[in-house]
C-alpha cells in the first residue's frame, strides 16, 4: 500500500506481449491497481479485474507522458520491438533512443520506480556461472542496445532520484511465445504430425525458466517499490537443450523424436552459461 492508503499503482509496458500477459496474470493475485500499456491498435487484450488498458505510442508520448499513463508508482518496462531478430541494427538505431527518451521523460515527470527488462545477451560469449555484477560484453545489436540502455539509466539515476531495478532475463518458455522459439517450434511440429524434430546437437547448457516464474520474479521486484540494482531473472541451474526438449516430450506424451545435429549451434551464445540468482537480494548497486 502507498502512504495515502490507496493500492500500489503498477504500470506494465508491453503488457499485450508474451511476458506482459503473464505479468498481468501474476499481478491479478495482489491488491494493486494495474495500468496495462499497449500500442495503439492492439487487439484481443485480456480483461483486467483491477485496472485498465492505456494506449501508449512511445514515439509521440512526450509532454505529460507520466500523467498520460496514469501516474503509476512503479513501471515494469517490457516493451521492445524487433525480436527475436537479435542481430538487427534496429535495436541500436531505433529502439535504444526511443526507450531511453520515454523512460527519461517519465522519471523527469515524477515516476519514482522502474523495473526494466534486460537480457542475458548482455554478457556476450562468457562461459559458466554469470553473476549480476559480471562484466557485460555484448556481441549482438540487441544485447548492446539493452546494455547501453541500462548504463544510460544508471547515469540518469545519479542526477534524478528514482529506483532502478534492471531485470536481466535468461531463457524462458510458455504460452504465447514467439513461433520462432524452441517450445512453440516443437509443439507446432507435433501438431503437424511430424515424427522427428530437427534441432541442434542439444548439448548447450543454458538457464531456462517457465515464463510464469519469470513473471513472478518481475512482480516481486515491482512490489518492493524500492528495488535497486541488477537482478538476474533465472533458475540458477544449467540444463542441456536436449534434456529440456526430451522432458517436454515426456511430460506432454508427444510421439516425436529429436533429430540431433540437424542445425548448427548458435554463433552468438556460449555453449555453457547460466545465471547466479540474486532476486532475494534487496539491493544490488551497479
Domain range for 145: 8-172+208-236+273-284
Domain co-membership, 125 together with 183: no
Number of H helices, E strands in the chain: 8, 16
Q: Could you tell me which of 180, 94, 107 has the C-alpha nearest to residue 145? A: 94
Same domain, yes or no, for 221 and 123? yes
> Do 220 and 83 fall into the same domain?
yes
131 lies in a domain? yes
pTM, two decimals, is 0.93
Residue 196 and residue 91 share a domain: no
- Condensed to tens digits (0 to 9), the pLDDT of residues 118-176 reads 999 999 999 999 999 999 999 999 999 999 999 999 999 999 999 999 999 999 999 99
Tell me if 130 is assigned to some domain: yes
Does residue 159 belong to any structural domain of this protein? yes
Q: Is residue 158 within 8 Å of residue 228, measured between CB atoms?
A: no
Please report whether residue 266 resides in a domain. no
Instruction: Confirm whether 95 is domain-assigned.
Output: yes
Are 190 and 131 found together in one domain? Answer: no
The tens digit of pLDDT for each residue in 187-240 reads 999 999 999 999 999 999 999 999 999 999 999 999 998 899 999 999 999 999
Please state, in angstroms and as integers, the Cα–Cα distance from residue 134 to each residue in 115, 126, 266, 280, following that order. Answer: 20, 9, 22, 18
Instruction: Identify whether residues 213 and 96 lie together within a single domain.
Output: yes
194 and 159 both lie in a single domain:
no
> How confident is the prediction for the chain on average, in pLDDT?
93
Q: What is the pLDDT of residues 190-199, one digit of tens each?
A: 999 999 999 9
Nearest-CA neighbor of 269 among 127, 125, 147, 135?
Answer: 125
Which domain CATH number covers 23? Answer: 3.40.50.720
Same structural domain for residues 194 and 279? no
Q: Does 267 reside within a domain?
A: no
User: Is pLDDT of 265 > 70?
Assistant: yes
Asked if residue 242 and residue 228 are part of one domain, the reply reads: no
Query: Is residue 214 a part of any domain in this protein?
Result: yes
Angstrom distance (rounded) from CA 256 to CA 259: 9
* 214 and 182 in a common domain: no
| Residue 34 in this model has a pLDDT that exceeds 70 | yes
| 264 domain residue, yes or no | no
Q: For the sheet with 163-169, list strands across it.
A: 51-55, 32-38, 8-13, 74-77, 113-119, 163-169, 228-233, 283-284
Q: Are residues 61 and 114 in the same domain?
A: yes
Is 145 found in the same domain as 36? yes
Q: How many domains does the chain fold into?
A: 2
Amino acid at each position: 500500500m502507498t502512504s495515502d492508503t490507496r493500492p500500489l499503482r503498477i504500470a506494465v509496458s508491453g503488457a499485450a506481449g508474451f511476458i506482459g500477459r503473464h505479468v498481468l496474470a501474476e499481478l491479478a493475485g495482489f491488491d494493486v491497481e494495474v495500468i496495462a500499456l499497449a500500442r495503439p491498435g492492439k487487439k484481443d487484450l485480456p480483461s483486467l479485474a483491477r485496472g485498465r488498458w492505456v494506449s501508449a505510442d512511445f514515439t509521440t508520448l512526450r509532454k505529460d507522458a507520466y500523467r498520460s499513463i496514469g501516474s503509476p508508482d512503479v513501471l515494469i518496462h517490457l516493451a521492445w520491438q524487433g525480436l527475436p531478430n537479435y542481430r538487427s541494427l534496429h535495436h541500436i538505431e531505433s529502439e535504444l533512443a526511443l526507450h531511453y527518451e520515454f523512460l527519461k521523460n517519465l522519471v523527469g515527470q515524477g515516476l519514482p520506480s522502474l523495473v526494466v527488462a534486460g537480457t542475458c545477451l548482455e554478457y556476450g560469449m562468457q562461459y559458466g556461472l554469470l553473476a549480476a555484477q559480471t562484466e557485460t560484453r555484448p556481441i549482438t545489436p540487441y544485447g548492446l542496445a539493452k546494455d547501453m540502455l541500462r548504463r544510460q539509466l544508471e547515469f540518469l539515476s545519479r542526477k534524478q532520484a528514482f529506483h532502478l531495478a534492471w531485470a536481466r532475463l535468461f531463457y524462458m518458455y510458455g504460452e504465447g511465445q514467439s513461433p520462432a522459439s524452441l517450445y512453440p517450434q516443437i509443439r507446432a511440429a507435433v501438431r503437424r504430425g511430424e515424427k522427428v524434430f530437427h534441432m541442434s546437437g542439444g548439448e548447450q547448457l543454458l538457464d531456462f525458466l517457465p515464463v510464469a516464474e519469470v513473471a513472478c520474479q518481475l512482480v516481486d521486484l515491482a512490489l518492493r517499490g524500492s528495488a535497486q540494482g541488477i537482478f538476474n531473472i533465472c533458475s540458477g541451474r544449467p540444463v542441456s537443450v536436449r534434456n529440456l526438449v526430451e522432458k517436454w516430450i515426456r511430460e506432454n506424451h508427444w510421439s516425436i523424436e529429436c533429430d540431433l545435429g540437424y542445425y548448427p549451434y548458435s554463433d552468438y551464445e556460449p555453449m555453457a552459461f547460466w545465471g547466479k540468482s540474486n532476486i532475494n537480494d534487496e539491493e544490488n548497486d551497479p
